[in-house]
Amino acid sequence: MTPRPAPRRCATCGRELEAREVYYRFHLVLQGEQDLVDPAPDDDEGESLEALVERLARAPEDPRELEEQVHWERSGVVCGACRAVVVRTLTPPVEGAGPH
Protein backbone atom coordinates (compact mmCIF):
# COMPACT_ATOMS: atom_id res chain seq x y z
CA MET A 1 0.00 0.00 0.00
CA THR A 2 1.46 3.35 -1.01
CA PRO A 3 1.43 6.12 1.59
CA ARG A 4 -1.16 8.82 1.04
CA PRO A 5 0.33 12.31 0.51
CA ALA A 6 -0.36 14.95 3.14
CA PRO A 7 -3.50 16.97 2.37
CA ARG A 8 -2.93 20.24 0.54
CA ARG A 9 -4.90 23.45 1.03
CA CYS A 10 -5.59 26.15 -1.53
CA ALA A 11 -3.57 29.23 -0.56
CA THR A 12 -6.44 31.49 -1.65
CA CYS A 13 -9.71 29.94 -0.42
CA GLY A 14 -8.27 27.51 2.14
CA ARG A 15 -10.18 24.53 0.79
CA GLU A 16 -8.55 21.14 1.34
CA LEU A 17 -7.59 19.63 -2.00
CA GLU A 18 -8.29 15.95 -2.60
CA ALA A 19 -5.27 13.75 -3.36
CA ARG A 20 -6.45 13.08 -6.94
CA GLU A 21 -7.57 16.67 -7.60
CA VAL A 22 -5.60 18.84 -10.00
CA TYR A 23 -3.93 21.79 -8.28
CA TYR A 24 -1.67 24.57 -9.49
CA ARG A 25 1.65 25.60 -7.99
CA PHE A 26 2.54 29.28 -7.91
CA HIS A 27 5.45 31.46 -6.93
CA LEU A 28 4.71 35.18 -6.89
CA VAL A 29 7.25 37.93 -6.32
CA LEU A 30 6.27 41.60 -6.15
CA GLN A 31 9.22 43.98 -6.12
CA GLY A 32 8.88 47.73 -5.77
CA GLU A 33 10.82 49.75 -8.27
CA GLN A 34 11.14 53.40 -9.14
CA ASP A 35 12.82 54.70 -12.26
CA LEU A 36 13.62 58.16 -10.93
CA VAL A 37 13.91 59.63 -7.47
CA ASP A 38 13.33 63.37 -7.52
CA PRO A 39 15.90 65.13 -5.34
CA ALA A 40 14.65 67.90 -3.11
CA PRO A 41 15.31 71.37 -4.56
CA ASP A 42 18.76 72.75 -3.73
CA ASP A 43 19.91 69.41 -2.20
CA ASP A 44 22.80 67.41 -3.45
CA GLU A 45 22.35 63.65 -3.79
CA GLY A 46 24.34 62.78 -0.66
CA GLU A 47 22.20 64.95 1.60
CA SER A 48 18.96 63.65 0.06
CA LEU A 49 19.96 60.03 0.53
CA GLU A 50 21.13 60.70 4.08
CA ALA A 51 17.83 62.44 4.91
CA LEU A 52 15.86 59.53 3.43
CA VAL A 53 17.77 56.95 5.48
CA GLU A 54 17.26 59.03 8.64
CA ARG A 55 13.53 59.39 7.93
CA LEU A 56 13.18 55.62 7.43
CA ALA A 57 15.04 54.95 10.70
CA ARG A 58 12.55 57.18 12.57
CA ALA A 59 9.48 55.76 10.80
CA PRO A 60 6.83 54.30 13.12
CA GLU A 61 6.30 51.30 10.81
CA ASP A 62 7.76 47.91 11.57
CA PRO A 63 10.91 47.38 9.43
CA ARG A 64 9.41 44.11 8.16
CA GLU A 65 6.33 46.01 6.95
CA LEU A 66 8.53 48.50 5.10
CA GLU A 67 10.50 45.63 3.56
CA GLU A 68 7.30 43.93 2.34
CA GLN A 69 6.33 47.16 0.58
CA VAL A 70 9.49 46.73 -1.50
CA HIS A 71 9.75 42.92 -1.75
CA TRP A 72 6.85 40.51 -1.18
CA GLU A 73 7.14 36.84 -2.05
CA ARG A 74 4.75 33.93 -1.68
CA SER A 75 4.45 30.40 -3.05
CA GLY A 76 2.01 27.57 -2.67
CA VAL A 77 -0.83 25.85 -4.48
CA VAL A 78 -4.29 26.94 -5.60
CA CYS A 79 -7.38 25.05 -6.71
CA GLY A 80 -8.79 25.33 -10.24
CA ALA A 81 -11.43 27.92 -9.32
CA CYS A 82 -8.91 30.21 -7.59
CA ARG A 83 -6.47 29.76 -10.48
CA ALA A 84 -9.10 31.17 -12.84
CA VAL A 85 -9.51 34.25 -10.61
CA VAL A 86 -5.74 34.82 -10.35
CA VAL A 87 -5.23 34.45 -14.11
CA ARG A 88 -8.12 36.84 -14.83
CA THR A 89 -6.74 39.35 -12.31
CA LEU A 90 -3.20 39.29 -13.71
CA THR A 91 -4.11 39.23 -17.41
CA PRO A 92 -4.00 42.67 -19.05
CA PRO A 93 -7.46 43.79 -20.16
CA VAL A 94 -8.37 43.64 -23.82
CA GLU A 95 -8.30 47.17 -25.22
CA GLY A 96 -11.77 48.70 -25.27
CA ALA A 97 -13.21 46.13 -22.85
CA GLY A 98 -14.15 48.76 -20.24
CA PRO A 99 -13.73 48.55 -16.47
CA HIS A 100 -13.90 45.18 -14.73
**In 1-100, which residue ranges form alpha helices assigned H by DSSP?**
45-58, 63-70, 80-90
pLDDT at 100 over 80: no
- Looking at residue 98, the DSSP 8-state letter turns out to be -
The larger pLDDT score, comparing residue 3 to residue 16, is at 16
Residue 77 phi/psi, 5° resolution?
-130, 155
pLDDT at 18 over 90: yes
The larger pLDDT score, comparing residue 55 to residue 90, is at 90
Taking 3-state DSSP, the helix, strand and coil percentages for the chain, each rounded to the nearest 5, stand at 35, 20, 45
Tens of pLDDT along 19-56? 999 999 999 999 988 887 666 565 555 567 788 778 77
Give pLDDT, residue 46: 54
Give pLDDT, residue 39: 61
Cα–chain-centroid distance for residue 39?
A: 28
Tens of pLDDT along 51-87? 877 877 787 877 788 788 889 999 999 999 999 999 9
> What is this structure's pTM?
0.63
